[in-house]
């Protein structure tokens, strides 16, 4: 298949570009970072630098294709609503327009389960449950992007929207690196004792979900799917597993949720007052993410996409460690 990938210079998009290329698909990888772009080119993958906020650059990067995987997005845990809106909403709109101009009629969009976050514990959430009205800018703007894609169906552009939770694996520069960084301190901060139950997703399982999407029947398109390893864990177990695999000490220290939330609010205020010079150690979004349970049903993906998460939570971390070791050896 000829597949265009946006955000192919980022963690998820790069993994997809490499694995789908290795499986014999013709990939056009796009993104802003020329440095990562050159590494993709070295691997034999076609790369075109492209900013999704610049319609001219999108025009020259896109050409006719069987399908587009839209991974580009603003993923930071901080930033103003308009910063998120620009990339996640305006950027997605531009990508849909560029697809229309190039007769690309199928889009797979990597959205997020952050749209489910309500500030309360939620278990086994399905895709059809009502969504909270109040959202953090990230979740809110990803949800608007989903709506943009859903409206494009009227004009013949079909989409599959995936909501994978806490993705980890090779090229991940966020989740596992942050856990390892925190383990270097005297105590490892665990909000609410790390009791919150969460889903996590290794990149191999997400890639297999995407493969299933490529082969999915028409009736499985224009739908939203939760994606995870299908094995929820407590935050405490998640972090201790990672540290065990990386042979690092785990010295947890409980931080009550309300205290962490209040502290994060003050940090965000100071950051805003200093026009971003002060970087908050935690944000209300990240505290909510770690202190509230959010587990999801993946039954719909099993039924309609034939999704089977074949890699366990632990195996995913082991693979990531092996990959990091290979990287170090080749340096």
Which residue among 4, 13, 257, 287 contacts ligand NAP (CB under 6 A)? 13
Does 267 contact ligand NAP by CB under 6 A? no
Element (H, E) at 323: helix 313-330
Whole-angstrom CA distances from 169 to 112, 196, 236, 321 are 17, 22, 19, 9
Cβ-contact 119, 292 below 8 angstroms = yes
Which residue among 3, 4, 5, 12 contacts ligand NAP (CB under 6 A)? 12
**End-to-end CA distance of the chain, in Å?**
34
Angle at 233 between CA 228 and CA 237, to 5 degrees: 135
Does 32 contact ligand NAP by CB under 6 A? yes
In whole angstroms, how close is the CB of 98 to ligand NAP at the nearest point? 12
Does 11 contact ligand NAP by CB under 6 A? yes
Closest by CA position to 107, among listed 137, 76, 62: 62
Which residue among 67, 72, 235, 287 contacts ligand NAP (CB under 6 A)? 72
Does 288 contact ligand NAP by CB under 6 A? no
The count of chain residues that interact with ligand NAP, using the rule CB under 6 A, is 25
Q: Which residue has the tokens 């050159």?
A: 38
317 three-class SS: helix
C-alpha dihedral sign at 116, 124, 170, 290 = positive
Q: Which of residues 181-210 bind ligand NAP (CB under 6 A)?
A: none
In whole angstroms, how close is the CB of 88 to ligand NAP at the nearest point? 7
* Distance of alpha carbon 162 from the chain centroid: 10
Q: Which of residues 83-112 bind ligand NAP (CB under 6 A)?
A: 87, 91, 110, 112
Does 53 contact ligand NAP by CB under 6 A? yes
Interface region with ligand NAP, contact rule CB under 6 A, candidates 20-28, 67-75, 234-242, 296-304: 67-75
Q: Enumerate binding residues for ligand NAP (CB under 6 A).
A: 7, 9-13, 31-33, 51-53, 71-75, 87, 91, 110, 112, 142, 164, 166-167
């Amino acid at each position: 298949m000829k597949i265009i990938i946006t955000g192919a210079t980022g963690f998820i998009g790069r993994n997809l570009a490499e694995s789908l290329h290795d499986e014999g698909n013709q990939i056009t990888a796009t993104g802003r970072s020329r440095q990562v772009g050159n590494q993709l080119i070295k691997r034999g993958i076609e790369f075109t630098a492209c900013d999704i906020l610049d319609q001219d650059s999108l025009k020259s990067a896109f050409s006719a294709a069987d399908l587009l995987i839209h991974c580009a997005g603003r993923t930071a845990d901080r930033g103003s609503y308009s910063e998120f809106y620009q990339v996640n909403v305006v950027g997605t709109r531009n990508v849909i327009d560029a697809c229309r101009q190039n007769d690309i009629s199928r889009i797979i969009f990597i959205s997020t389960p952050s749209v489910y976050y309500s500030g309360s514990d939620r278990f086994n959430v399905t895709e059809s449950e009502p969504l909270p009205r109040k959202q953090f800018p990230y979740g809110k703007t990803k949800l608007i992007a989903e709506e943009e894609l859903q409206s494009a169906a009227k004009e013949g552009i079909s989409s599959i929207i995936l909501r994978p939770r806490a993705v980890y694996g090779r090229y991940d520069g966020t989740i596992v690196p942050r856990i390892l960084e925190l383990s270097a301190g005297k105590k490892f901060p665990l909000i609410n004792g790390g009791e919150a139950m969460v889903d996590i997703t290794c990149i191999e399982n997400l890639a297999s979900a995407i493969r299933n999407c490529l082969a999915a029947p028409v009736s499985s398109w224009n739908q939203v799917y939760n994606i995870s390893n299908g094995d929820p864990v407590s935050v405490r177990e998640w972090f201790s597993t990672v540290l065990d695999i990386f042979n690092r000490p785990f010295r947890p220290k409980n931080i009550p949720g309300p205290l962490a939330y209040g502290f994060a609010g003050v940090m965000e205020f100071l950051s805003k007052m200093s026009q971003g010079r002060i970087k908050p150690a935690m944000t209300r979004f990240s505290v909510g993410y770690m202190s509230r349970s959010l587990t999801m049903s993946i039954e719909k993906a099993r039924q309609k996409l034939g999704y089977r998460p074949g890699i366990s939570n632990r195996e995913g971390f082991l693979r990531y460690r092996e990959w990091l070791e290979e990287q170090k050896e080749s340096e």
